[in-house]
Amino acid sequence: APRASPGSARIEGMREKPSAEPEPVFKKSVAREYLESIVVAVILALFIRTFAVQAFKIPTGSMEPNLLIGDHLLVNKLVYSPSVASWEDALFGKKPIQRGHVVVFKYPEEPWRDFIKRVIGLPGETVEVRGQRVIVDGRPIDDPYAHWTPRRTDDPESGSFHDGWGPQVVPPGHLLVLGDNRDNSRDSRFWGFLPIDQVKGRALLVYWSYEATREEYHRTGLVEWMKDTLSAFGRTRWKRFFHVIR
């Protein structure tokens, strides 16, 4: 019998070796893809809400006429946060708290509630309210957003400081904050100075606004809440959309 050459033996051996089966391709179900997308979206939303931007609504008239009951705001939570490097300040527009900034903070007497007021006094400054003027370190400040009206007896936010307040020195690590509606605002004149570490962020802009009353924000019934929510769309203040808060 003819002898096979070594080369032909190798070729035969290669031909006889079974080919590898293709690896199975794992394919996600449509339901799982939707679930993963939802989970990622929720995580991103929680991250943004915790560290970057938070929504806030105005339930009282303490900041009128600059902020109205029914205004829905976006609050920048990054602007006052600590920076690891100097480039963060330029990238995120970070800056220290300044007089005139409108800030959202934890109400010191009830930390689970958020308040919004304007920064008037900084640490170490001596502040006094005399008549319809705010005096800081002996000099009246430029206060274009202040609004003075007769006291409302039906509003628990209302105060009575027509005879003045202070002078008092703002302690280190604290702020003096006032509502723009000076005669109808429960602010530092009532409950004292605000610890800086209770500030959550700076108010940016109004993203939605509708005509509302104080009572609508305190209704707890589900039916009443649904009625108020549905009727709100017919009472939208279109001119206040994307109103930048000064």
CA dist 176 to 98, 107, 183, 233, Å? 11, 13, 16, 36
Highest-scoring range by mean pLDDT, 19-33, 65-79, 115-129: 115-129
Calculate mean pLDDT across residues 137-156.
Answer: 78
Contact 149, 181 (CB under 8 A): yes
Give 149's contacts (C-beta < 8 A, 6+ positions apart). Answer: 181, 183, 184
pLDDT for position 11: 45
Q: Can you give the pTM of this predicted structure?
A: 0.71
For residue 28, what are its two tokens? 């996600």
pLDDT for position 9: 47
Catalytic annotation, pick one of 62, 158, 188, 209: 62
**Residue in the structure block whose two tokens are 């391709």:** 25
Known catalytic residue at 8: no
Known catalytic residue at 117: yes
Catalytic annotation, pick one of 117, 185, 188, 209: 117
For 155-206, how does the pLDDT look when each residue is reduced to its tens digit (9 = 90+)? 555 455 556 898 999 999 999 999 999 988 999 999 999 999 999 999 999 9
Calculate mean pLDDT across residues 67-95.
Answer: 80
pLDDT band at 132 (very low <50, low <70, confident <90, very high): confident
Mean pLDDT of the chain: 78
How many whole angstroms separate alpha carbon 102 and alpha carbon 100? 6
pLDDT for position 148: 84
